[in-house]
Structure 1
Amino acid sequence: MTAFERVRLPAFGGAAAWLNTEPLGPPELRGKAVLVDFWTLTCINWLRTVPYVRAWSQAYRDDGLIVIGVHTPEFTFERDVDRVRQAVAARRIDYPVAIDNDYAVWRAFDNHYWPALYFVDDAGVVRDEHFGEGRYDRSEQVIQRMLGVRRELVSPLVEGRGVEAEADWQQLRSPETYLGYARGENFASAGGIAYDERRDYDVPADLRPNHWALAGPWTAERENVLLDAAGGSIACRFHARDAHLVMSPGDGGPIPFRVLVDGAPPGDSHGGDVDANGEGLLQQGRLYQLLRERGTVGERSLRITFGAPGARAYAFTFG
């Protein structure tokens, strides 16, 4: 028996609110097999797992499985319950979601990751756990063992679309890159980043792979960089099929933006949040898909320019 098999299902009493259900606790969960999924709405790794969790919830709910999503925010703007509610609708999540703004449920599970899955049997014992993407067939087999059923797996039939599509792992050579100074790295504008003060920046002519830079007046904050005037831009050099940027308009918006790839509009390789000319609109805080390469994947330079001040950018992610 492993260490986690001796752990009992923690209570959800620390949840600030619930979506899709009345509050759930020991009386409601007693004698039930439970799958707990920790997520945050801007996490690309979670977005690529949600088609599987959604499929498991639908395939096994009549067998007694209860899926509970626990939304624990990574960025401050993700604490907005209405924004989480919008993400739940966009991702077609119909199972219960606990709002964990104070990290109470996170701490009760001693969790450290997004996404994280905890598999709890009908005796309330955590029988398995998995962090990150992948291992879908094995996870579904764990569900079947907890429920005492055995039939063809649904996981091989799952196909994510849009931002939910599986990454092109063979071509993915760029890591998640945070822009706020608390976790930011690989910043390439001359003079480095200035903490909590407005500064004018320039993009270097020889931006190196997996580095990023700013152009125009920006204020670097702990979680993000904030644009102080229209016309400012962010550039990065990456190697991946997909490029995303977590952004928010703050209290303003909508903010128009334009994406160029290697100095030209993306054309057929535009992401789901921009058109072929690279035009997009920043209307709410979330992850925006800027590029999905439909040709040969290689090292590319991306530049996103904003038509109004107030844009906040948090992290590049790739797929």
Structure 2
Amino acid sequence: MKYVLFGFLLSLALSISCSNIIQNSDDGVYFNAPELSNITHWVNSDGFTLKSKKGKVILIDFYTYTCVNCIRTYPYIKKWHQKYEPYGLVVLGVHSPEFEFEKKIENIKTSAEFHGLKYPIAVDNKRGTWDAFSNRYWPAKYLIDARGKLRYSHFGEGYYSETEQQIQELLIEAGADLSDIPLVQTSEVISTSFFKITGPENNLTRELYAGYNRNSLKVRNLKWMNNNSDESFEGDDSELVFNRMDDFENVLNQPYIVQRNYYDNPLGTIVDYTHDSELINNFLYITGRWKSKNESLIHGRETLNFEDNISLKFCASTANVVVGKGNNQDPYLIKVTLDGMPIDEVDLGDDLFIGEDGNTYIQVNEDKMFNIFQSKTSHFDCHKLQISANSQEFEVFAFTFSPSTDYVELQ
């Protein structure tokens, strides 16, 4: 589950999944659901208000199309839409972007078509509906009953049977006959929300962000925790790693990029980076010439032999990277290595291919999340990953990970 981070402690919410059956207010009446607000576009619909759907049960899913946690919930939402729409369920996706490129309507449409999302999607580029619901999570689900009252919420993955039971109860309450309708057969999958942490060096790797905003915020918070001093940092001038690595909470408080000169130079500066230290799980290491941006790192020059790269150690069963294609209409290649070698064919991610030279690559022709690794051999394990590209349009936003290859087919 993703959380909008307003401070260092809130990053702990990444490991939490929760649901809530909304209780009656003091006067015995459920609260009215907020109305949709500042919707800029619609996908799969000409648009509607929640008020116009009174008499039906509404399932709202707040998501953004590069969120891996959101993507893993799609099979369940699609099945509920197919199964319960004839009985009065309205499924509504609310696309509230995390990154600027996710506001592009064509990107949202392309993703919806690729994943087979046929229910209405409200494009919430200004986050008006997000704010109306006081939402802070991707994904987040809200159930509204036939009277327009908020009755249930769930944040993160999991609890699929519980959510479907709530759907059925509200539909029956509205008069639907579901006596012959069984629950969807859910798969036994491992969710990031419930993965047991075993220590910072071999725990499931946190989501890693390359942009200046999130990294500099964590640095400011660390300094605040240490009375605005640098005592929490190693004395080395090239690395910026918090001294205490003995528990997961302290790792979560760290910036994602370890080189000190990333923070010593103004935003937008093109800087030459080097690093000589051993890769540590949960951090990004930059080599070569890169330019910092609010949400991303962008390659600072054209190269010929994939000289500039981003490296990391991760512990997971799947790995993904969110990248952009910049302003160039031509696609470009990202070279991907795992433990210093091309990724084995059996472990190739959905978006990776083996080139004629035997190396493994992503072809970037759109702004999206690319699945680069799916372990079918060692399952959950730790590896060293490196990505590089020659193009100056090479732009990296984030890396995401999962403890299992938990893409499911439902009955």
Equivalents in 2 of 1:143, 1:155: separation in Å?
15
- Tell me what 2:272 maps to: 200
Partner residue of 2:139 out of 115, 120, 123: 115
Contact 1:172 1:318 in 2 (8 A): no
Equivalents in 1 of 2:317, 2:124: separation in Å?
33
- Tell me what 1:240 maps to: 316
Q: CA deviation at 1:158?
A: 9.6
The AA in structure 1 aligned to 2:339 is D
Partner residue of 2:393 out of 289, 301, 310: 310
Deviations 1:150-181 (A, max 9, x none): 5311142699xxxxx96694686111111111
Equivalents in 2 of 1:138, 1:152: separation in Å?
13
The answer for unaligned runs of 5 or more in structure 2 is: 1-21, 173-177, 197-201, 216-254, 403-411
Equivalents in 2 of 1:198, 1:292: separation in Å?
33
- Tell me what 2:38 maps to: 14
Residues 135, 227 of structure 1: CA spacing in aligned structure 2 closer, same or farther, 3 A cutoff? same
Contact 1:41 1:71 in 2 (8 A): yes
- Tell me what 1:2 maps to: 23
- Tell me what 2:409 maps to: none
Q: Does 1:76 align with 2:100?
A: yes
Matches within 5 A, 1:94-109: 94-109=118-133
Q: CA deviation at 1:188?
A: 2.6
Equivalents in 1 of 2:382, 2:369: separation in Å?
22
Equivalents in 2 of 1:172, 1:240: separation in Å?
8
Q: Which moved more, 1:201-210 or 1:27-36?
A: 201-210
Partner residue of 1:269 out of 340, 347, 362: 347
Q: Which moved more, 1:230-239 or 1:21-30?
A: 21-30
The AA in structure 2 aligned to 1:153 is L
- Tell me what 1:216 maps to: 288
Contact 2:323 2:394 in 1 (8 A): yes
SS in 2 for 1:10: coil
Q: Does 1:290 align with 2:372?
A: yes
Equivalents in 1 of 2:187, 2:288: separation in Å?
47
- Tell me what 1:254 maps to: 331
Equivalents in 1 of 2:374, 2:117: separation in Å?
25
Q: Which moved more, 1:42-51 or 1:185-194?
A: 185-194
Q: Does 1:187 align with 2:257?
A: yes
Contact 2:37 2:132 in 1 (8 A): no
Equivalents in 1 of 2:65, 2:283: separation in Å?
25
Contact 1:246 1:287 in 2 (8 A): yes
Equivalents in 1 of 2:269, 2:23: separation in Å?
50
Partner residue of 2:207 out of 176, 181, 191: 176
The AA in structure 2 aligned to 1:50 is Y
- Tell me what 1:162 maps to: none
Equivalents in 1 of 2:283, 2:51: separation in Å?
51
Residues 265, 27 of structure 1: CA spacing in aligned structure 2 closer, same or farther, 3 A cutoff? same
Equivalents in 1 of 2:113, 2:50: separation in Å?
27
The AA in structure 2 aligned to 1:220 is S
CA RMSD of aligned residues (A): 2.1
Q: CA deviation at 1:9?
A: 2.1
Q: Which moved more, 1:124-133 or 1:11-20?
A: 11-20
The AA in structure 1 aligned to 2:327 is D
Contact 1:203 1:235 in 2 (8 A): no
- Tell me what 1:52 maps to: 76
Contact 1:271 1:290 in 2 (8 A): yes
Q: Does 1:299 align with 2:382?
A: yes
Partner residue of 2:149 out of 122, 125, 130: 125
Equivalents in 1 of 2:386, 2:341: separation in Å?
10
Q: Give the alignment's TM-score, normalised by structure 1.
A: 0.92
SS in 2 for 1:84: helix
Matches within 5 A, 1:126-141: 126-141=150-165
SS in 2 for 1:207: coil
Q: Does 1:144 align with 2:216?
A: no
Partner residue of 2:111 out of 79, 82, 87: 87
SS in 2 for 1:85: helix
Between structure 1 and structure 2, the one with the greater Rg is 2
Q: CA deviation at 1:190?
A: 5.6
